[in-house]
Amino acid sequence: MLVAGPTASGKSGLAMALAEAVDGVVINADSMQVYRELPLLTAQPDADDLACAPHRLYGIVSVGESFSVAAWRQMAVAEIAAAVRDRRLPILCGGTGLYLKALTEGLADIPAVPETVRQAARALHDRLGGIAFRALLAERDPVTAARLAPGDRQRLCRAWEVVEATGRPLADWQAAAAAPADAPAASTILLAPPRAGLYAACDTRFDAMLAAGALAEVAALDRLDPAPDLPAFRALGVADLRRHLAGEADLEAAVAAAKQATRNYAKRQMTWFRHQLATDLVMDEQYSESLRPKIFSFIREFLLTAKP
């Protein structure tokens, strides 16, 4: 079972409710929730959540460790198998489209890229800046460039180095990926709330994160002194709160920027889900207990018809 949706849509609450009701295991499918140093800003399950239902693949690596979608997929497949062996329903929960797509459709078999090409891509990005670099990438891989933000240095450079080393755009490699033999058969629920309500939920949740200690969490991250281009720094709110801690923005401006970035990200997620994710049940509102009868009826039907 896949439970997907944009940030602050209530998917974690839904996944946990399902796990409690049908003896399930919640398995993380969010690329930022794997980092143990950012439990608040990435909205990882707290102690009360963990007491209600088993959760897997949350906070499993440090921000300084190398971690990839391939590594996550391998772990997720293993956790799914373990849940099935224990006669529990595996419930994948997350908003990272790349993770969900990798799980169900597999990963492209891209040849290894020489280190010299990697270094050249990063040097070019540093010289041009994100906006100009993305424009240059768009000439060679317009599909990938269109879905990446100018500030996403790691993924922009990855797309550039792939086309540079192989002569084929990353988008072509990904489109040619074959569904692997271990791809799980899954039914997908998508939470797709109206934009106004979703944006309000994003703002409210960020305020709650701040009240719970998100600023101290970012300060502790800075004290670790990790490389600034690591994926964990893309977690929503990290860059803006770091600017405040460095004296480059007052707290009000940093929070406003973080909230705007969160709303922008939620919008991009919804666009991706609407066009890229095959769904079996779409709920056009925020998750709440009032949705349980319809969702649980769907789940019961799924369990009755699912192959043993």
Q: What confidence score (pLDDT) does residue 16 get?
A: 95
Tokens of 67: 């971690």
Are residues 77 and 210 part of one domain? yes
Q: What confidence score (pLDDT) does residue 133 get?
A: 95
**Backbone angles phi and psi of 191, in degrees to 5:** -90, 120
Are residues 197 and 57 part of one domain? yes
Are residues 265 and 149 part of one domain? no
Are residues 187 and 80 part of one domain? yes
DSSP states along 198-239: HHHHHHHHHHHHHHHTHHHHHHHHHHH---TTSGGGGSTTHH
Are residues 189 and 74 part of one domain? yes
Of 154, 175, 196, which residue is a domain's last? Answer: 175
DSSP states along the chain: -EEE--TTSSHHHHHHHHHHHHTEEEEE--SSTTBTT-TTTTT---HHHHHHS-EESSS-B-TTS---HHHHHHHHHHHHHHHHHTT-EEEEEE--HHHHHHHHH----PPPPPHHHHHHHHHHHHHH-HHHHHHHHHHH-HHHHHHS-TT-HHHHHHHHHHHHHHSS-HHHHHHTPPPPTTPPP--EEEE---HHHHHHHHHHHHHHHHHHTHHHHHHHHHHH---TTSGGGGSTTHHHHHHHHTTSS-HHHHHHHHHHHHHHHHHHHHHHHHHH---SEEE-S---GGGHHHHHHHHHHHHHHS--
Of 175, 192, 214, which residue is a domain's last? Answer: 175
Across the strands, what pairs with 4?
Answer: 94, 190
Are residues 211 and 131 part of one domain? no
Between CA 306 and CA 295 the distance in angstroms is 16
Are residues 264 and 156 part of one domain? no
Are residues 195 and 86 part of one domain? yes
pLDDT in single tens digits along all 308 residues of the chain: 999 999 999 999 999 999 999 999 999 999 999 999 999 999 999 999 999 999 999 999 999 887 888 899 999 999 999 999 999 999 999 999 889 988 888 777 778 889 899 899 999 999 999 999 999 999 999 999 998 888 778 789 989 999 999 999 988 887 776 556 566 767 899 999 999 999 999 999 999 999 999 999 999 998 987 777 788 888 999 999 999 999 999 999 999 999 999 999 999 999 989 888 888 999 999 999 888 888 888 888 877 766 44
Residue span of the structural domain in which 166 resides: 115-175
What total number of domains does the chain contain?
2
Are residues 155 and 127 part of one domain? yes
Are residues 219 and 80 part of one domain? yes
Across the strands, what pairs with 75?
Answer: none
Are residues 223 and 87 part of one domain? yes
CATH, residue 131: 1.10.20.140
Q: What confidence score (pLDDT) does residue 178 get?
A: 58
User: Angle CA(27)–CA(33)–CA(39) in degrees, nearest 5?
Assistant: 120
Of 175, 194, 213, which residue is a domain's last? Answer: 175
Are residues 139 and 75 part of one domain? no
First to last CA, the chain: 14
- The residue written with tokens 């939920």 in the block is 201
CATH, residue 33: 3.40.50.300
